[in-house]
Chains A and B, each alone.
Chain A
Amino acid sequence: MTEEMVLHPPIDNVLQKARAALKEGKLFGLKCNKCGTYSIALAGYSCRHCGSFDLDWVELSGKAKLMPSASVVYPLGEGFVEIGEPYLCGVVELEEGPLMTARIYDIPDFDFKNKPERVLDLIGIKLKMDIRVETVLDMEGQYCICFVPA
């Protein structure tokens, strides 16, 4: 095979690279060389603002804040039997700009049973990334991007 016959794909193994980084506690982003916007690599290989493919891999800081869309999840099975501990889930905005959704743990004094409405008071709090191994429906033992208060 001559050198000119070797195909050079226009994209590398983005997901494998980004998923492997999670196992090392890192969240990779893609910085656009056209407009400077940061995107999350797991979310897709194009700039989320201008659509450019001219992107550089960068490690994101993991700093974020909680946005208004947030909910307390009560895992219930058949007959309303509790099948897990309640937890907070919310839309977060990363320091570099991208939005994502995530589980948020270790909120001090959060009374899941009696005061779930306190979530409305938490909007805007500062968070930091805490990657944990989770099970989500039929995906077991996966590295998930979670957050805790900063």
Chain B
Amino acid sequence: MDKSRKLGKLRRGVSIIGVGMTKQGHIATTPEIKGMTERELWHWAAREAMEDANCRPHDIQAQYVANTAGEWFTGSFHLDGALQRWCGLKRDGLGVAGCRVESACSAGAHAIREAIFSIASGVYDLVMAGGVEISSVAMNRTEPAAITNLTNVEVLKGYMTGCDRAFHYLQEPWATTIFGGWLTAYAYQYGLSKDDIYDALDGLVISRHHSAAHNPKACLNFELEDYAKERGFASAKEFLHSKLNPVEWWPVRFWDFEIATDGAACVIVCATESAREFHPDPIHVLGTGCAHGQLYNPTYSCPAIVEAAKQAYEMADLTPEDIDFVELYVCGAAVEFTAVEDIGFSKGGEYWKIVRDGRTAFDGDKPVSPSGGLKAFGDTVGAVGVCQAYEVIKQIRGEAGSRQIHPIPRIGLTHTLGGTGDTTQVINIYGRK
């Protein structure tokens, strides 16, 4: 079978009828989630999603839970079995179908895809899909609720266990690609100067914080302008060019990176034909695409993103011009420029100017990551794809509070990237038909 063979459509409609999510933060310090393990985080997200969907645990037929680095950080695998006991799915010793889903940082988007396919096939009608992750600290192996603090380098070691140790790991592909190299390649392609690069990065960081400041569930929910002034700087820009923001992977600086967070998110996925029995305003799954590839490529473009987007657009019968906003996976700022242009949300060579001019915040004319993105909302690793779905559903419903995009969007796209050498790219499109 040729891999370019046209993919099929979903055999019946699939909708999202409930969303839930914890505050994003660090279980050692963030008041709302302090001292929680994956179990309490999952209970919070799953319970909120079921309440939002007006369904009960008895209605759920399967559970797909994304958890990426449990073995490294908390000493657990097969967490899905335990988690069914924490959200009412296992009763009298009998639970529902499902499994843990793992595909690096794209795991959550895959969990949603598993739910989509299991419903579209006709096997199930109502499925819980979500993700939970703790990656800011390690949990003590002999005292399950006790925390061991980690340095940033130790956290990085944990993340990079997703890299192929036989080859990629020793060649540091993260440095040459998503942490820095993709932006160098983008600058090379379009002739950006050093000042152009930093103007774009400044605009990116300031816009993400502006969106996150309006998101109570974001980890760093403050305006960078305020943060800088509290520390004696005249402006956010002056702070970003200070010694408090050193370059780590040129051209990408410390504050251009994501904030790694702990947390959980959950969505309730339902057959469209019965969705309104539970929720008056179901948001539909319009398309989904997925492709594996590699992060190191001849140019700044990533063919796996292009392929995943193509699949999702074809399934949805949409073009990039139909997309009102996107939630983007950006661990290092270098990803942003490649991903947005590979998705087609901006034309080649134009996006850096849009970012520079601050037009990508929730109140701009080209909204990207209105949640605050991985930069300020947080990167919950396995849960990210579900956090992104949460934001997209809230925006389309018009329930995003003070960060609501106007006019209220009809169609949103999530891009989720997994891996640091080999890569999995997932594109999901949600909206109203």
Contacts and interface: CB of A to CB of B under 8 A. Distances in A.
Interface of A: 15, 40, 42-43, 67-74, 76-78, 80, 89-91, 93, 99-103, 116-117, 119-120, 123, 134, 136-139, 142, 144-145
A86 to B, nearest CB: 8
Interface in B128-151: 151
Nearest to B198: A117
A99 B298 contact: yes
B304 to A, nearest CB: 14
B230 to A, nearest CB: 19
B248 interface: yes
A73 to B, nearest CB: 5
Contacts of A117: 194, 250-251
A90 B176 contact: yes
Nearest to B168: A101
Interface stretch (B35-43, B153-161, B204-212): B153-161
B165 interface: yes
Contacts of B189: 68
Contacts of A136: 169-170, 172
Contacts of A144: 170-171
Interface of B: 151-153, 156-157, 160, 165-173, 175-177, 179-182, 184-185, 187-189, 194, 243, 246-252, 254, 294, 296-300, 421
A80 B250 contact: no
A42 B296 contact: no
Contacts of A40: 167
Given A72-B250, A137-B157, 10 more contacts: A68-B298, A70-B181, A72-B249, A73-B175, A74-B249, A99-B294, A102-B172, A116-B250, A117-B251, A137-B156
Nearest to B153: A77
A9 B299 CA distance: 38
Contact of A99 (B157, B188, B249, B297): B297
Contact of A116 (B177, B251, B299): B251
A69 B181 contact: yes
Among A69, A74, A102, chain B packs the most CB atoms within 10 A around the CB of: A69
8 contacts: A42-B167, A71-B179, A74-B248, A78-B151, A90-B176, A101-B296, A116-B250, A120-B184
A101 B298 CA distance: 11
Nearest to A41: B167
B176 A139 contact: no
B178 to A, nearest CB: 10
Given A101-B173, A139-B170, A68 B300 contact: yes
Nearest to B298: A67
B300 A101 contact: no
Nearest to B173: A101
A120 B175 CA distance: 15
A101 B177 contact: yes
A139 B167 contact: no
4 cross-chain pairs, A with B, having the tightest CB-CB distances, nearest first: A71-B180, A69-B181, A68-B185, A72-B250
Contacts of B251: 71, 116-117
